[in-house]
Structure formats: C-alpha cells, structure tokens
C-alpha cells in the first residue's frame, strides 16, 4: 500500500511541476508573441475540472459550449432561485486587480440574477456602484449571500446517492425474497464488500462485542465514498464531478467520524486523554494539549487523505490528456492515452482503497474510543 | 470556488444527503442484508457442526461395528471349535463303541467256540468212554471167555488185593 502512496505522491509532484511549468511557459509565450489571449491554459482547465461549478459543462468551448445550467438557490433576505444561465449568459465585466494590476474577468447576473456577480464560481453581491473590487485574486468588500445552489458537486452527490440506493436496494431485495441462501447476481459481488466491512473493518478494529452498532455507519461511509469515487472517474455525465476530491465533502465525512468517535467514547478514552495512567502529574500539562490536538488530527488526516488522493488522481489524468493540447498535435495521444489509461486503472484501485481506508481508520478511531481498560 | 475553502452550500447538501442515506440504508438495506447474511452464516456453521458430529458418530458406529464383527467372529470360531470337538468326541465314542462291540462279538464268539469245544470234547469223551467201555467189554468178554482165563484174572486180582 505504501508503494502506491509513494508512487502517487511521486506522480502528483511530477504533474504539479508539469502543470505549473507548462502554464508559465504558455503565459510567457503568449506575452512574447502577443497571439490569441485565450490560448490553452492547462492550469485553468484542470482547476475548472476539479472545482465545483454552477453548470455542468458537457462539451465545446467558450461561445459554443454546451452545458446544463444548474439551479441557483440563494438565501439573501428570502429564498431566491433561478437558473445559472443568468450568470453564464450574463454581462461580462472586468475589474483591475489592485495588487497585480491585471484585468480580471467576472460576470454580473442578468434577469433574476441582477445585483449579483459571479467570480470564480463564487457568488457575490455587487457593491453600490454595481461592480466588484478585486485584490490579489480575491473579492474584497463584497457581501456574499448564502449559496445553497445545486452545483455540479451537489447534483453528482444526488446521483451518487440514487445510484447507491438503486444498487443496494436490489441487493436487499434479493435477500428479502430468498432468505439466507447463497447470493446470486449483484448480491454475489456486493456481499463480499459488505462482509469485508463487517469482518475486516468493524469486527477487527472495534472488537467482537461492540462492533455491531457501528456496522451500518461504516458500511454507509464505505459505499458513499466508493461509489462517489467511481462516479468521479467516469469522464462524462453522470460522472466527472470531483465530489470526493472536494474538501467540503471530506470535511463533512471526517467530522461525522469525529462525532461518532466522541459520542461513543467511554471513560477509559477520556482518562487516557486527561489523565494518562502511569504518567507523572507535571507531564500531564504537556500531555493533555497534545492528546486534545490528537483528537482533531486524526479526522483531519482522514479529510486531507481522501481529498488529496482523489484530487491528485483527477489532476494526473487531466494533465496527461493535456499533453495533446499543449503540443497541439494528436500524435502525442500515442504517449498520453496509454499513460492516462494506466493512471485511470490505478485510480480504480485508489477509489476502492481510499473508501476502504476511510472506513478502516474510522473503525480504528471508534475502536480506540470504546476500548476497555486492560491494565 | 477555491479548492481548499469549505463551501457552506455543499456542506449543507452533503450533510442532508449523507444523513438521509445513513438512515434509509440502515433501516431498509443494511438490516435485511446483514440479518440474512448472519442467518446464513449461522446456518452454515450449524451444518458444519452437524456434519462434524455425524462424522464422529460414524466413526463411533464404525468402531462398534468392528467390535461387533470381531465378537461375532470370535463366537463363530468358538462354535466351530466346539462343533469340531463334539464331532471328534462323537467319532471317538463311536469308535470306542464299535471297538467294544467288536470285542464283545469276538468275546462271545470265543465263548461260543469254547462252549462248542467243551461240548465237542465232552461228546468226544463220552464217545471215547463208550468206545472204551465197548473195548473193555470186548476185552473182558475175551478175558472171561474161558475158565482158565477167569481163574487167572481172579487170581491176579486177588494177588493185587493182597499186595495192597
């Protein structure tokens, strides 16, 4: 496993170098030659693909792009819902970045979106002069409404949830209909995973007597991450969103594990944090803060691991495909396609591995929290 | 939307979907699946246990069968041995009886022969006596046929008596 991680880290580094050097190179090139401003920008393309958006881009570029405009839901002195096309087909504006002195493009909404502007997929309220002020790549002095829009990630989340329900209800129906028999069809494949989560993850880490209560949570978290990881690898609708590579999602999942851990923690767990047995009293002054930080670092590691692994996977595949567009020559596909294919296959493994690891480590933390004293 | 800035809207939707998913899956999906899987595992382990038990029983049965067979064989051997003994005895007895009978027959034959012999001897004696008597009569008649002779005899006898 460590081999995969280190290989992955190596690839991420490689790609980061590739991405940054190439994007700098292209900037440099365009400035020097003064040719078309909208040249292929790898960094922009990759960031666009791994970030959330208010539209689901299907194909085409710029003016002939075909997208699904997703609904925008704002809470700003009342509920406001409208299509995101009012931004994407809104009024393009430019602001001068006060630090870099560069012109930065953003769009002001039209129709029902009037009064709002979108900059880097973030929605702001226009100020009294009807513009946004941007400093060092960030909008300053602008209120932002609560944005509960059905973004690309939210839609992907819904589709993932529906997919999970469809697949698993099929399995559940099989067992309801046939009772305790040898599994057939879809159940045959999923039972392996379900039993793996129950035995190798829950029972092995939480202990024979207490694991049963946590199996549904661990199963849900495993299948949620696994199915959404796989959906993220599909390059077109209904896949393609980088849901499990989104920090907000991984943050939520990590917080869930943290809460489950804290809620089920017993006296022994807290004793180890506030009064580690066998540690001299003065040392506790150092130990207690360390232990308290330790409570948070565990889910923090969960959050970052899933986010970084999935995002890195997407970046690698996108960067490898970009080789063709950077060189403006389809022949580079001979290099880029096999490499992207290899990474995609590796990502299939990573999709499973990360779901497994998240559930495994969650079980480990819960196991540590419910462990009885044995000294 | 920055890569590492948490987004409130997405957080809300993720939370909502995840919690709903957790509740629905736990209630309608994990429960029946896990129940069935556990029941099946129980069934399999029960079946295995039963098989193990049956196997042990079979071994015991086989052992007892073996014992039974051994006993039966021993019994058979004993019976055969007895029978042989009895047969031998019978033969011996028959032989002895036959011998005794034969001896008896021989004995009785011998007795008969003896009797016959005695009878024959007795008859022979009688005949010899009769013949002797006849001869003696004839001799006496010859002796006594003349007076001289009667006189000589009487003298001789008288002489014998005197001598005595």
For residues A53 and A121, the answer to whether their CB atoms sit within 8 Å is: yes
d(CA B92, CA B83): 14
Find which of B33, B42, B43 to mutate to test the A interface (most A CBs within 10 Å of its CB): B33
Q: Which of A183, A246, A263, A306 to mutate to test the interface with B (most CBs of B within 10 A)?
A: A246
Tell the burial category of B105 from Cβ atoms under 10 Å away from its Cβ (0-12, 13-18, 19+). Answer: exposed
Cβ-based contacts of B24 with chain A (< 8 Å): 165
Lookup: tokens for A135: 């400093």
Question: How far apart are the C-alpha atoms of A149 and A156, rounded to whole Å?
Answer: 13
Here the ipTM equals: 0.84
pTM listed for this prediction: 0.75
For residues A228 and B6, what is the distance between their CA atoms, to the nearest angstrom? Answer: 19
Quote the pLDDT of residue A312: 93
Q: Do B28 and A172 touch (CB under 8 A)?
A: yes
State pLDDT tens for residues A262-310: 999 988 888 888 888 888 888 888 888 998 999 999 999 999 999 999 9
Q: At what angle do helices A152-178 and B8-24 cross, to 10 degrees?
A: 0
Structural domain boundaries in chain A = 64-149, 152-370
Using CB atoms, which residue from A164, A175, A248 is nearest to B33? A175
Chain B CB contacts of A300 under 8 Å are: none
Q: Which residue has the tokens 């028999």?
A: A181
The Cα–Cα gap between B14 and A154 comes to 7
With residue A107 as reference, give the H or E element that holds it.
Answer: strand A103-108
Does residue B81 register a pLDDT over 80?
Answer: yes
pLDDT tens, residue by residue, A53-96: 888 888 877 677 888 899 999 988 888 888 988 888 888 888 88
Strand order in the sheet with A116-119: A91-96, A103-108, A116-119, A122-125
Contact A146 B24 (CB under 8 A): no
Name residues 24-43 of chain B within 8 A of A (Cβ): 24-26, 28-37, 39-40, 42-43
Contacts of B23 in chain A (CB under 8 A): none
Q: Do the chains contact at B37 and A256, CB–CB below 8 Å?
A: no
Q: What is the pLDDT of residue B148?
A: 82
Is A148–B9 a contact, with Cβ atoms under 8 angstroms apart?
A: yes
Q: Quick check: A215 and B30 CB within 8 A?
A: yes
| Chain A residues in contact with B20 (beta carbon < 8 A) | 161
């Amino acid at each position: 496993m460590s081999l995969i991680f280190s290989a992955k880290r190596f690839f991420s580094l490689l790609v980061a170098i590739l991405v940054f050097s190439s994007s700098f190179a292209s900037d440099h090139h365009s400035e020097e030659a003064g040719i078309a401003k909208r040249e292929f920008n790898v960094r922009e393309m990759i960031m666009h693909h791994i970030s959330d958006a208010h539209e689901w881009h299907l194909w085409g570029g710029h003016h002939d792009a075909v997208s699904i405009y997703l609904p925008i839901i704002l809470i700003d002195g009342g509920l406001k819902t409208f299509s995101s096309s009012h931004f994407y087909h809104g009024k393009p504006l430019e602001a001068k970045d006060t630090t870099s002195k560069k012109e930065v493009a953003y769009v002001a909404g039209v129709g029902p979106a009037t009064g709002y502007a979108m900059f880097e997929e973030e929605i702001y309220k226009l100020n009294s002069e009807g513009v946004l002020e941007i400093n060092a790549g960030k909008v300053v002095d602008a209120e932002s409404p609560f944005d509960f829009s059905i973004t690309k990630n939210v839609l992907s989340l819904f589709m993932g949830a529906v997919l999970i329900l469809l697949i698993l209800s099929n399995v559940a129906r099989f067992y309801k209909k046939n009772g305790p028999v040898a599994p057939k069809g879809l159940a045959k494949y999923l039972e392996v995973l379900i039993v793996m989560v129950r035995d190798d993850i829950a029972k092995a880490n939480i202990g024979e007597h207490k694991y049963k209560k946590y199996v549904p949570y661990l199963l849900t978290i495993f299948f949620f991450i696994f199915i959404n990881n796989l959906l993220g690898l599909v390059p077109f609708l209904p896949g393609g969103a980088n849901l499990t590579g989104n920090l907000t999602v991984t943050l939520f999942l990590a917080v869930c594990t943290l809460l489950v851990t804290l809620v089920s923690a017993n006296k022994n767990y807290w004793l180890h944090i506030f009064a580690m047995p066998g540690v001299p009293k003065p040392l506790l002054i150092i130990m207690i803060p360390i232990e308290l930080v330790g409570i948070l670092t565990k889910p923090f590691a969960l959050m970052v691991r899933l986010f970084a692994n999935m995002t890195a996977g997407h970046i690698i595949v996108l960067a490898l495909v970009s080789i063709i567009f950077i060189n403006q020559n389809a022949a580079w596909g001979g290099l880029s396609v096999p490499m992207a294919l290899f990474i995609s296959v590796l990502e299939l493994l990573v999709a499973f591995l990360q779901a497994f690891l998240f559930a495994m480590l969650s079980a480990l933390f819960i196991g540590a929290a419910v462990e009885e004293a044995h000294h | 939307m920055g890569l590492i800035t948490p987004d409130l809207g997405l957080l809300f939707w993720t939370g909502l979907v995840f919690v709903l998913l957790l509740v629905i899956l736990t209630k309608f999906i994990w429960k029946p699946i896990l129940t069935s899987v556990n029941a099946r595992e129980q069934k399999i382990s029960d079946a295995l246990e039963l098989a193990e038990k049956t196997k042990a029983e079979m071994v015991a049965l086989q052992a007892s069968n073996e014992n039974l067979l051994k006993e039966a064989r021993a019994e058979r051997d004993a019976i055969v041995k007895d029978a042989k003994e009895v047969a031998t005895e019978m033969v011996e007895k028959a032989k002895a009886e036959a011998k005794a009978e034969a001896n008896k027959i021989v004995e009785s034959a011998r007795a008969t022969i003896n009797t016959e012999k005695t009878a024959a001897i007795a008859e022979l004696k009688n005949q010899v006596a009769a013949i002797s008597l006849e001869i003696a009569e004839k001799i006496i008649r010859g002796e006594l046929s003349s007076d001289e002779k009667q006189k000589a005899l009487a003298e001789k006898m008288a002489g014998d008596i005197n001598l005595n």
